[in-house]
Amino acid sequence: MLHHKLNYLCPVAISSCILILLFLSRQSSADVPPSSATPPVSPVAPVSSSNVCRSTPDPSFCKSVLPNNNSSSNVYDYGRFSVSKSLSAARKFLSLILKYLSHSKDLTITAVRALQDCEFLAECNIDFLLSSSKVVNGTSKILPTLEAEDVQTLLSAILTNTQTCLDGLQATASTWSVRNGLTAPLANDTKLFSVSLALFTKGWVPNKKKIPSHPTKKHLAFGNGSLPLKMSEQNQAVFQTVSRRNLLQSTDDDGSQVLVNDVVIVSQDGSGNFTTINDAVAAAPNNTDGTYGYFLIYITAGVYQEYVTIAKYQKYVMMIGDGINQTIITGNHSFVDGWTTFNSSTFAVVGQGFMAVNITFRNTAGAIKQQAVAVRNGADLSTFYSCSFEGYQDTLYAHSLRQFYKECDIYGTVDFIFGNAAAVFQNCNLYPRLPLSFQFNAITAQGRTDPNQNTGTSIQNCTIRAADDLASSNISIQTFLGRPWKPYSRTVYMYTYMDNIINPLGWHEWIGDLGLNTSYYAEFSNTGPGSKTSGRVDWLGFHRINATDAVNFTVANFLIGDGWLWQTGVPYTSGLLA
């Protein structure tokens, strides 16, 4: 009975249970905000592998993989060696996955799906490690903040991808030979990737971030007079209408603009370029860098029963709909029906720079189908503005990399905002729904597994109220701000209105004492009857913070958002509220 209940309450609880001993073996004090750092030691000074490994989460494992020469190696040398070794391990693991998939006829469909997730995630890891390798091999000095943040984000995502693969295998792969053959390599790779992240943080990341200045606001427009445009006159006219209606335009006549290179229209009545969203996505260009602007997909009002993926090579795609509950993308894949949590999503986005405006994303599987994701977001520098996410368990999978959500509505029950991205939510409405009779609601389940990951969930100036079904129910349902899915879970609420549905304890354990002392849960300047902190949990991981600590989780500091968010034209608050 307990096992059955855990399946309902956890995104992938089985793997968490199996790996508790692995995580608890890492000795660490309670997590701290990202501004804290270890005492500065010159990364160019010669140092033994034993000494350099003291700054990693698992010193014993670190010493077993780094070369033991005590002569002239420094942090940069060890870091480069570790990244190179990590790249070799990632390639070896991908080969192992492909070997298992070559015998897919002997496996269950759930095992094959889990392996396919691992294949995709391993490919991403290779890409991320290649990018990281170029940086670490190119310099032996502390990097500028933006460049350091880019690489730390990639190395953090590598750990997330590896954990996601393991979670999926443990939860759904029914073939024991697959589990047994892959669990040990994944565990070793996780520890190796952790070493690479720790050494990069020690050698290349500045102790104090230098935040870029806040640029001027932008508004949507065509090009800048010098860039080529492919839009027909008809599409240009449609774009002008869409942009004026859906995004705020600058009030300053400074010529700044969000570049759009092309626009296509999706309309179910045949009046646009495409009748399905997937056909429009297929028309998006590959591997653009944003220089020529967004590829804009305007989706007219309608209910689109499609499973949509924005691939990793489809960068700087923008989708604009006709409004929440007007343009709706819906599906019903779920864990119960044989999908992994990772691939149960109605809408999945991986391509960098993705942006969505005025769209509702739904998963209609219902509470009884357990994990059922509406949106899975693994797109770096992605933005959702004025969108709605509707589901029950695991509605919004903020999987990895850097993400921003503004004025969005998010509905769900168990862990309905989860994942291990660096994600900021501003001015959003969080609506706990009516769960199954034996369940409680948890708004967040943040999945940080390593103290050096620059990830976490920051909820700012939002509103937490019961959804209509919960508000009108006579059933007593417990609702919590979050629970530690992984040992270094990190979630902060600030300036947020909390209605009386929030349990006075605020936070709920996952299983046993996992993460209670190593997580970082914080509250600052919240309001409403559910915001009183006098009765909160007494975990070492819970903090009542002041403005000095809270500023670490703002857009400017946590996402380095002033370096990229301005390009979207979406309004945002850079620092703390005045």
Return d(Cα 394, Cα 447) in angstroms, integer: 13
Alpha-carbon torsion (281, 286, 288, 293), positive or negative: negative
Active site residue 106: no
Alpha carbon distance, N-terminus to C-terminus of the chain: 50
Task: Please enumerate in sequence order all residues whose Cβ is within 8 A of that of 115, keeping only pairs 6 or more positions apart, or say none.
Answer: 97, 100, 101, 104, 107, 169, 173, 178
Interstrand relation of 490-494 and 542-544 (parallel, antiparallel or unpaired): unpaired
* Cα separation, 73 vs 342, whole angstroms: 41
- If you ran DSSP here, which 8-state letter would residue 220 be given? E
Distance CA 439, CA 182 (A): 32
What strands, in cross-sheet order, belong to the sheet with 497-498? 302-305, 327-331, 360-363, 388-390, 409-412, 429-432, 463-464, 497-498
Query: Which SS3 state, helix, strand or coil, does residue 51 take?
Result: helix
Kind of pairing between the strands at 497-498 and 294-299: unpaired
Q: Are 502 and 530 in contact (CB under 8 A)?
A: yes
Catalytic choice (117, 262, 415, 562): 415
Output the CA torsion sign for 37, 40, 44, 48. negative
User: Three-state secondary structure along 384-449?
Assistant: EECCEEECCCCCEEECCCEEEEECCEEEECEEEEEECCEEEEECCEEEECCCCCCCCEEEEEECCC
E strand or H helix at 14: helix 13-18
Angle between helices 75-101 and 176-203 (to 10 degrees): 160
SS (H, E, C) 226-283: CCCCCCCHHHHHHHHHHHHHHCCCCCCCCCCCEEEEEEEEECCCCCCCECCHHHHHHC
Helix (H, G, I), strand (E, B) or coil at 335: coil
CA–CA dist 74, 527 (Å, integer):
49
Question: What's the Cα-to-Cα distance from 283 to each of 56, 265, 303, 317, 321, rounded to whole Å?
Answer: 45, 11, 21, 11, 18
Give residue 450's identity as a one-letter amino acid code: D
Q: The tokens 């309001």 sit on which residue?
A: 527
**Catalytic (active-site) positions:** 415
